[in-house]
Chains A and B, each alone.
Chain A
Amino acid sequence: MSLALLEPPTNANPQTALTLSQKAPTFYKSQASWSLPYPLSLFVNNESQEKWQAYENIFLACLRTGDNQSAYLYLEELTDRFGKENERVTALRGLYAEATANTAKELEYVMKHYEEILVEAPSVFAIRKRRVALLRSLGRTAEAIGALTNLVDTSPTDAEAWSELADLYLSQGSYDQAIFSLEEVLLVMPNAWNIHAKLGEVIYLSANAKEAGPEQLKALSESMRRFCRSIELCDDYLRGYYGLQLTTSRLLGALQTTKKSQQVASDPVAGDLAPPSIDAVKKLNEVATAKLAEIVRKGTAGEKGWDGYSASELIAARELLDRGTQQIQR
């Protein structure tokens, strides 16, 4: 079996999804299996974890590309194997119903179906998540946030749900709540370097929304520290260095304009740290610029072992660097 089928398809680019879904009919035929009558069937093993993972991936890819027939075939196979009661299968069936619903009324029906399941078995988290996703997709964001806070109340260690909640709050511009949710994610998974970077980004956004002054300075330095942590957890992390470069450049300006007396004094009781010194920020900025330049150079050239960066991120990093040099030239 090709290992490409095990690649999680949810966030792949359309081209990958298309090739995956085009494999659907041939793969289905190749998996068609014969089975012996009951006692003998115990001696034959014609299934593996890979097989069902591949089935689910192809199912999702087919749904995405609009190939409903193939998707239905795979869904039926999964249902036959794991039963209708299986949580994961229930969620997949719901996903199929959502994708194939044409009218608002049909979507309403899917929603009602979810709610019926939840009345009987409120602990089916897969369905609770689907319900939130459907609410969000229908634009009922407030309801989605309500359902999701309820969900994380029941299961506070569900990092995925906290992360979705952060994203929902962010889409509403509620930065403080989004920051809180992301911090909850980090409590569950403290080593997730991408979430550290994401938190840095959200804090940076919130700093942008604030007026220039001590509050903004505090947010900027907090954001800078988050990016530093993400780099500490992951060498040559493009996103982390990008954020570090951005925040340190802003901080340099802010530190120079804000007077010493205006800066909020550090409060060790509340765990606040004093804003960093100008020298430290300058050094960090130099490090970030040098590292970004190195990553862009090696990544664009596609050197051995440096070919994994996404092309759009590399372009963005180059633009950031160019902006920096223009300012110096002026």
Chain B
Amino acid sequence: MGLSANVLNILGLVFLSHASYEHSLLPSAAQAPPQSSILPSVIDPNINLPIDVVLETIVSVLLLCAGVVLSSPDLKPIQWNVWAGRLERSKDARQIKGFGQGGGNPYAALEERPGFLDIRAKRKEFAAWVKDGGQGDKVQ
């Protein structure tokens, strides 16, 4: 997806610059076009462009639009259950990205309760773990 989106972006940019370059070369661009018969004078764009330059511009802008949308990163979940499910499911989603950013379940502290940490029990548990040879990977 990333490669094709980049190709679209580059193509769009090339066509867009080519169209404007061609436009600048045209001798007719300098002359004012005849007044439009349908449009009122206020919104008459007053430009004089051959149809191929117009088409090229439109196509290149469309290509760029598609390329930018396709190359944008994945959307982040805005539904609570989807976001929470991702935290439970994958380690990547739980990774800490900085101070106060990322991390797992924000409510896990309600069950760990760092304010009530029983340090003496934790020390004993650790000493027992070392005595066991530090093998058993006790999770929690």
> Are A and B co-members of a single complex?
yes
Binding site for B on A (CB under 8 A): 3, 6-8, 10-11, 13-15, 17-18, 48-50, 53, 60, 63-66, 91, 95, 98-99, 125-126, 129-130, 132-133, 136-137, 159-161, 163-164, 167, 185, 189, 191-195, 198, 232-238, 304-312
Q: Is the CB of B98 within 8 A of A234?
A: no
Contact among A11, A53, A234 with B140 in the assembled complex (CB-CB below 8 Å): A11
Q: Considering only CB atoms and an 8 Å cut-off, how many residues of chain B contact the other chain?
A: 49
Known: A13-B137, A133-B117. A308 touches B111 (CB 8 A): no
Contacts of A95 in B (CB 8 A): 117, 119
B125 to chain A, nearest CB (A): 7
User: What secondary structure prevails in chain B residues at the interface with A?
Assistant: helix
Chain B: which residue is nearest A128 at the CB level? B115
A246 to chain B, nearest CB (A): 18
Q: Is the CB of B126 within 8 A of A234?
A: no
Q: Is the CB of A137 within 8 A of B118?
A: yes
Please list the 5 inter-chain residue pairs (A to B) with the smallest Cβ-Cβ separation, ordered nearest first: A235-B85, A234-B84, A192-B107, A14-B129, A129-B115
B3 an interface residue at 8 Å Cβ cutoff? Answer: no
Q: A8-B103, A50-B98, A310-B140 are in contact. List 13 more A-B contacts (CB 8 A).
A: A3-B95, A6-B99, A15-B134, A98-B120, A99-B120, A130-B115, A137-B120, A160-B110, A191-B80, A234-B85, A238-B88, A304-B90, A307-B91
B123 an interface residue at 8 Å Cβ cutoff? Answer: yes
Bound CA span A18–B129, Å: 11
9 contacts between A and B (CB under 8 A): A3-B95, A6-B99, A65-B126, A159-B110, A163-B113, A189-B107, A305-B89, A308-B91, A312-B140
Contact among B99, B103, B120, B126 with A14 in the assembled complex (CB-CB below 8 Å): B126
CB proximity to A under 8 Å, residues B49-98? 80-82, 84-98
B113 to chain A, nearest CB (A): 5
Contact among B90, B96, B117, B119 with A6 in the assembled complex (CB-CB below 8 Å): B96
Q: Is the CB of A194 within 8 A of B140?
A: no
B19 to chain A, nearest CB (A): 43
Q: Is the CB of B118 within 8 A of A194?
A: no
Contacts of B125 in A (CB 8 A): 14
Q: Is the CB of B111 within 8 A of A137?
A: no
Chain B: which residue is nearest A136 at the CB level? B118
B116 to chain A, nearest CB (A): 4
Contacts of B140 in A (CB 8 A): 11, 13, 310, 312
Contact among B109, B111, B118 with A133 in the assembled complex (CB-CB below 8 Å): B118
Bound CA span A49–B103, Å: 16
Q: Is the CB of B138 within 8 A of A14?
A: yes
Bound CA span A50–B1, Å: 36
B127 an interface residue at 8 Å Cβ cutoff? Answer: yes
Q: Is the CB of A126 within 8 A of B88?
A: no
B35 to chain A, nearest CB (A): 62
Contacts of B122 in A (CB 8 A): 64
Bound CA span A63–B125, Å: 12
Bound CA span A232–B124, Å: 39
Contacts of A50 in B (CB 8 A): 98-99
B114 an interface residue at 8 Å Cβ cutoff? Answer: yes
